[in-house]
Structure 1
Amino acid sequence: MPEIVQLLASPAHRFTGRPADGPAPAPPGELVGHVRIRAGLGIEGDRYFARPAHRDASVTVIAAESLPPGAGLAEVRRNILVRGIAVDDLVGAVLTLDSGDGPVALQVRRRANPCAWMDVTVGPGAWRNLRGRGGIRCTPLTDGTLRLGAVTVSID
């Protein structure tokens, strides 16, 4: 059964400057048990919430199957880590997730391509290994809440 494994709502960018200098410290409480999503705006409390330049890609989703053991959202800076959903194949589709509080529809706009930071935060070779498997960037179409655990999925 598909599930939401981790959720991240971070108020701060951690990957600034050069990867060789390392990421900034993680803000406390960025890995959360639930997120509130607002249509056209993103995830409340996240660094991209209501930012005009990011509204068409304010929510990012990545599959746990794409990551090596031990890696998670803190390393790849995506918002939603799922298991059992092939998200990288969904560009152009509407992905709807329901973790028990009602459906949240996400318009999948484009791939979330990995960057050189992945070699620092995930491990050597991750940048190359995550090409084509780095997740997706989405626009939220509906308001709602997503929680950790089992999730019902529909793809249109």
Structure 2
Amino acid sequence: MIPTLTLLASDTVQLLTRSPAHNFFGHHGGPAGEAAVEVVDALECIAGRGVRGDRFFDYRPDYKGQITFFALETFVQLQRELGSPLARPEATRRNVFTRGIDLASLVGSEFELQGVRFFGTEECRPCYWMDQALGPGANDWLRGRGGLRARILSDGWLRQ
């Protein structure tokens, strides 16, 4: 059994989003979709299924990207270094934007945030669409810093 790491109160959720439809996934070779990302006050996490209302909810059994996390500090650094002050965090299409959490350290670990348990499966690697969504050079800049993909292990709500 893997011990659960409970993230401290100082580790905060800054922004929550869900994307009801795909803009990039499945659009290779064609134009991006135009589905809006919803900024929400809370996300309902369903164990083994994903985030209710998100495009990957019930995508496939045991999917390793049922929920995604992204460090807001990384996003601010990207804006500064790429000169993209108008880029918005939700354009990354990640679900949970955090402050004060070393997301890379959670790969291969079970962790708990706001009473919901997760298992960090892998880095949420960027793709070439990031250059369109965030600005030229974003895909390369985000390599190794793209956030965290995770499985949801228990039902619950994340709130800002």
| 1:144 matched residue in structure 2 | 156
Match of 1:51 in 2: 59
CA contact (8 A) 2:48 2:62 kept: no
CA deviation after TM superposition for structure 1 residue 91, in Å: 0.7
Match of 1:9 in 2: 18
Contact 1:73 1:79 in 2 (8 A): no
Please point out which of 26, 47, 70 is paired with 2:35: 26
Matching residue of 1:112: 124
| CA distance in structure 1 between the partners assigned to 2:63 and 2:30 by the alignment | 30
Partner residue in 1 for 2:100: 84
The alignment covers a number of residue pairs equal to: 142
Residue type at the aligned position of 1:14: N
Change (3 A) 1:48 1:129: same
- State the SS of the aligned residue for 1:88: helix
Distance (whole Å) between structure 2 residues aligned to residue 64 and residue 146 of structure 1: 16
Shift of 1:20: 8.2
Name the amino acid aligned to 2:104. D
CA contact under 8 A between 1:19 and 1:116: conserved in structure 2? no
Question: Is the deviation greater in 66-75 or in 40-49?
Answer: 66-75
Measure how far apart 1:19 and its partner are. Answer: 7.9
Change (3 A) 1:4 1:19: farther
Alpha-carbon distance in 2 for matches of 1:71, 1:34: 23
**Residue 122 of structure 1 aligns with which residue?**
134
Q: How much does 1:26 deviate?
A: 3.2
Root-mean-square deviation (CA, aligned residues, Å) is: 2.0
Normalising to structure 2: TM-score of the pair? 0.80
1:151 maps to none
Partners of 1:143 and 1:40 in 2: how far apart?
9
Does structure 2 retain, via aligned residues, the 8 Å contact 1:20–1:120? Answer: no
Distance apart, 1:2 and its partner CA: 2.2
Alpha-carbon distance change, 19 to 108 in structure 1, aligned in 2, over 3 angstroms = same
Secondary structure at the aligned position of 1:105 is classed as strand
The answer for unaligned runs of 5 or more in structure 2 is 1-9, 80-85
Contact 1:76 1:118 in 2 (8 A): yes
